[in-house]
Homo-oligomer: A and B are copies of this chain.
Amino acid sequence: MAGALALYLACGQFGVARAAEQVDLDVVAKIRQEAFSRSQAAASLKELTETVGPRLTNSPSYVRATEWAQDKLRGWGLSNVHDEVYDPAFGRGWEFGSAKVELLSPRRLPIHALPKAWTRGTNGPVEGELAIATFKELGDIDKQKGKLRGKIVLVDDARAYKAAEKADFRRYSDTELGELQTFPVAADAEPGAQDKRLEEFRKRQALSKALNKFLAEEGVLATLSISSWDNGIVRVMGGGARKAADPVGVTELVVSAEHYNQLVRAVQAKKDVRMRIDVDSRFTSDNDLPATNVFAELPGGSKAGEVVMIGAHLDSWHGGTGAADNGAGVIVMMEAMRILKAIGVKPKRTIRLGLWGGEEQGLNGSAGYVAKHLADYPEPTDPEQKALPRAFQRGTGPLQRRADYGRFSTYFNFDNGTGKIRGIYAQENFAAVPIFKAWLEPFNDLGADIVTTRNTGSTDHISFDRVGLPGFQFVQDPADYSTHVHHSELDTYDHVLPEDLKQAAAIIASFAYNAANRDQPMPRKPFVERDQQ
């Protein structure tokens, strides 16, 4: 580690390492020209978001998206274009067509609301009185028994409006980029933190199943919860049950904060508060369906058996059209492949694109791919362990490395919204730092120039990182990702910046080419297996 750090300093201050890391500037120039002058990014994004639409994993439109992406990639001349099942029984298909929600009394008001994924529709309009009931632990269910039949239940507290005193759209300032390059040494983990997380997970699971069962048996018409953002923006993810074996519960809607608070106040004022709800949503399968990822390749030359991967998740939530999360990433990665094909480069290693499903439910597509092709911990035999998500499983023995584990070089991911690339998270891989600095140099004029040793998480590079393979996510300008679009109905085409996607596609095409063509694969950082952590 000390050696790697010295190289890093040398690179930053004296250019020694930079000389060692060759970058083919002719290829960079071709990439930039193709990316900026003949971009397909905006046109592809428009098709993906508005012809295909939002892409909840295993929904009909997710399946259409996998077909659309393969058609495009084949049309661009890429190789080995195919989809592959990563989970034979991921969950049921679900889609929704419309959601009409209205307050009938004490006064009439159309209510701004969207249904949670994998929840029941209403089978036509239903009407009921509103009630407030929050369910924070199992005991709360007993208290409500016999009280909620035929009612529409507000399951969250009202929330005071919080005015945002920062701009909703931001690019990183130099100060923020400087700060991002410092490494925050973590405090010691609380003893037993993992056990505590597991305990909380189990409680949540148990409460969710018991609650869904109770609400259906009690004859509740629907539950309403408050959107997690203000200003009328509805953010909506999943509810009900994705798995055929789990109790689905009742219709569940997320309501804009401004409307939700009004409903709570009306009920608290003991008025006769009545609503009508008509949610046209449906499960498109009775059984858990297999879920797929999509792949395409630019075949390698002298080291064709070694692989460099780039990828982004193809799935989205259903409230908007999944434009920034993660249409942007899909389009940037597809565009990077198109550019490399179009300029006719012949890299030594194979460059493989992965478009992942099930990211929003826990990085499932990329994790399934890694488990099948690269490395995985053994399946638990203990049924209790078996029932847990893989991230919680322990004591099953050491990581099993597949044949391709050794031939895998690196993975690059793009999933922080539409914002252009300002640099890359080196994910504590110190040997990668000078390499990335050299690769970014021809893109410094596009605002991409920092390499931070920090880790970032919450997306698909983690599926590689956690089995000891190099996996990276770029530093992207925040844009309005965390104020308007993330998991919200506003995640639509208009909130994506085509110029930023062009910049990102050029940088990623170049990173992929450099990684595929350098003499050595990407260096790996020290790896600690999960039972030793």
Contacts and interface: CB of A to CB of B under 8 A. Distances in A.
User: 3 shortest A-B CB distances, which residue pairs?
Assistant: A163-B169, A97-B108, A161-B494
Given A98-B102, A163-B169, A492 B233 contact: no
A50 B265 contact: yes
Contacts of A61: 107
Nearest to A230: B494
Interface in A486-527: 489-490, 492-495
Contacts of A161: 494-495
Interface stretch (A244-252, A255-263, A392-400): A255-263
A100 B112 CA distance: 11
Given A163-B480, A493-B261, A50 B266 contact: yes
A195 to B, nearest CB: 40
A484 interface: yes
Contacts of A168: 163-164, 167-168, 231
A97 B102 CA distance: 9
Q: How many copies of the shown chain assemble into the complex?
A: 2
Contacts of A46: 265
14 contacts: A46-B265, A50-B269, A98-B100, A98-B110, A99-B110, A100-B100, A108-B280, A110-B114, A112-B112, A164-B167, A167-B167, A232-B490, A258-B492, A258-B495
Given A108-B280, A110-B114, A262-B492, 6 more contacts: A50-B269, A61-B107, A160-B494, A257-B494, A258-B490, A265-B493
Contacts of A258: 320, 489-490, 492, 494-495
Interface of A: 46, 50-51, 53, 61, 96-100, 102, 106-110, 112, 114, 160-161, 163-170, 230-233, 257-258, 261-262, 265-266, 269, 280, 320-321, 479-480, 484, 489-490, 492-495
Given A53-B107, A106-B51, A163-B169, A493 B233 contact: no
Contacts of A280: 108
Contacts of A110: 98-100, 114
A490 B259 CA distance: 9
Nearest to A234: B232
Contacts of A108: 96-98, 280
A373 to B, nearest CB: 34
Q: Which of A53, A98, A261, A484 has the most CB of B within 10 A?
A: A98
Contacts of A97: 102, 108
Given A110-B98, A110-B99, A484 B231 contact: yes
B262 A231 contact: no
A261 B494 contact: yes
Contacts of A266: 50
A173 to B, nearest CB: 12
Contacts of A112: 112, 489
Nearest to A103: B98
Residue in A261, A280, A494 with the greatest tally of chain B CB atoms within 10 Å: A494
A228 to B, nearest CB: 15
Contacts of A102: 97-98
B164 A169 contact: yes
Contacts of A165: 167, 169-170
Nearest to A49: B262
Nearest to A161: B494
Contacts of A494: 160-161, 230, 257-258, 261
A199 to B, nearest CB: 36
Contacts of A166: 167
A262 B51 CA distance: 10
A59 to B, nearest CB: 11
A109 B51 CA distance: 12
A233 B232 CA distance: 7
A36 to B, nearest CB: 20
A251 to B, nearest CB: 15
Contacts of A490: 231-232, 258
